[in-house]
Amino acid sequence: MSAVTRKNRDGRTRARLISGKAGSFLRIAFSLAITFFGLLLVTFLIGRVLPIDPVLAAVGDHASQSTYDRVREEMGLNLPLWQQFFIYVSNVLQGNFGQSVLTSNAVLDDIKRVFPATLELATIATIIGVVLGIPAGVFAAINKGKWPDHVVRVIGLAGYSMPIFWLGLMGLLVFYMKLDWVAGPGRLDAFYIDFIEPTTGLMLIDTLIEGDMDLFWNAVSHIILPASILAYFSLAYIARMTRSFMLEQLSQEYILTARVKGISEHRIIWRHALGNVMVPLVTVIALSYANLLEGSVLTEIIFAWPGLGLYITNSLLNADMNAVLGGTVVVGAVFIGVNMLSDVLYRLLDPRARR
């Protein structure tokens, strides 16, 4: 084969690879755009279907009819539905979720203030769930049918069965009121609230930046119980899925071949089997993390945790629809982003997915 022919062939191969990557990127971008558009459509329709009048929430029950009509026109609620949706999408794309009736602030500013608390809580809970859940699932798989397997399965079943509000209340009763091992509701004791200037919004990081270890340990004492309550549910899900994935891998022929070759059981389990399990497990962990970000409402209410879930709940109770819809869009966008990240990690870890 001549050098010119080889060069032309290599050029065509590179062109196909670049074209394939560009096509894959465009497909992902199009899928994200469609998903986000669907999210906006659903939240918009929810705002119009709920039996809550945003005009009354803004002006009050005793406002005159002229005031009511003027505010309704200012909100654009007198326009056709399709035009309202177009304005809504345009505003969201510009980061404008409107003004909160409850706080009188821009909804986006409120979300920036409260979301770090939810992010911190969900992140700590996910770390605990991963650190404990994966070894528990592996331990259950290698002891299938024995008492360790039954213990892990019972713990996982209890994690799915017990209501989170009950578990949170029992945790406060036992560990806060009776034993006094942890601090109570909130992110800091009331005495310390004005002692720190938020930098990242993540209390553990901000207290370390301030260099005040008393504040840091006070923040740890406040977050450990609600994070552990959330982590229990994450642990149950991750342990169950890890056990299922490990049982599938341990029945594969390559495991038998490795044992015949005399490779140590520890290496077979923790390097070969678990290495293959980590590919689908990334998706499981990502979904668990996204669920904690959006599903920590009850935990935040019980522990008076000033996060996004508590903000949305208070807004809903006060008919503050701008805040409710804005928070819902942010949660949905985070869920979409986490799913996209898990898909990217899946492709990086599994060469077959890249092909």
The answer to whether the beta carbons of residues 106 and 97 sit under 8 Å apart is: yes
The answer to whether the beta carbons of residues 47 and 321 sit under 8 Å apart is: yes
The answer to whether the beta carbons of residues 71 and 58 sit under 8 Å apart is: yes
> Mean pLDDT over all residues of the chain?
81
Please check the confidence at residue 334 and state whether its pLDDT lies above 90. Answer: no
Asked whether residue 240 is domain-assigned, the answer is: yes
| Each residue's pLDDT tens digit, 207-232 | 888 887 888 898 899 999 999 999 99
Q: Tell me, yes or no, whether 65 and 111 share the same domain.
A: no
Please tell me the total count of domains within the chain.
2
Please check the confidence at residue 25 and state whether its pLDDT lies above 70. Answer: no
Which residues face 99 on adjacent strands?
Answer: 106
| Each residue's pLDDT tens digit, 297-320 | 888 888 988 888 888 888 888 878
Asked whether residue 102 is domain-assigned, the answer is: no
Other CB atoms within 10 Å distance of the CB of residue 251: 9
Q: Tell me, yes or no, whether 130 and 79 share the same domain.
A: no
**3-state class of 106 per DSSP?**
strand
Asked whether residue 268 is domain-assigned, the answer is: yes
Q: pLDDT at position 128, please?
A: 93
Q: pLDDT at position 273, please?
A: 85
* pLDDT band, very low/low/confident/very high, at 287 (cuts 50, 70, 90): confident
Other CB atoms within 10 Å distance of the CB of residue 121: 29
Q: What is the spatial distance between Cα 236 and Cα 134, in angstroms, rounded to a whole number?
A: 10
Asked whether residue 98 is domain-assigned, the answer is: no
Q: Tell me, yes or no, whether 175 and 295 share the same domain.
A: yes
Q: What is the spatial distance between Cα 183 and Cα 217, in angstroms, rounded to a whole number?
A: 10
Token digits for 58? Answer: 């803004």
| Each residue's pLDDT tens digit, 67-87 | 777 877 777 777 787 888 888
Q: Tell me, yes or no, whether 141 and 180 share the same domain.
A: yes
Residue-range definition of the domain harbouring residue 32: 3-93
* pLDDT band, very low/low/confident/very high, at 127 (cuts 50, 70, 90): very high
Asked whether residue 101 is domain-assigned, the answer is: no
Q: What is the spatial distance between Cα 186 and Cα 306, in angstroms, rounded to a whole number?
A: 7
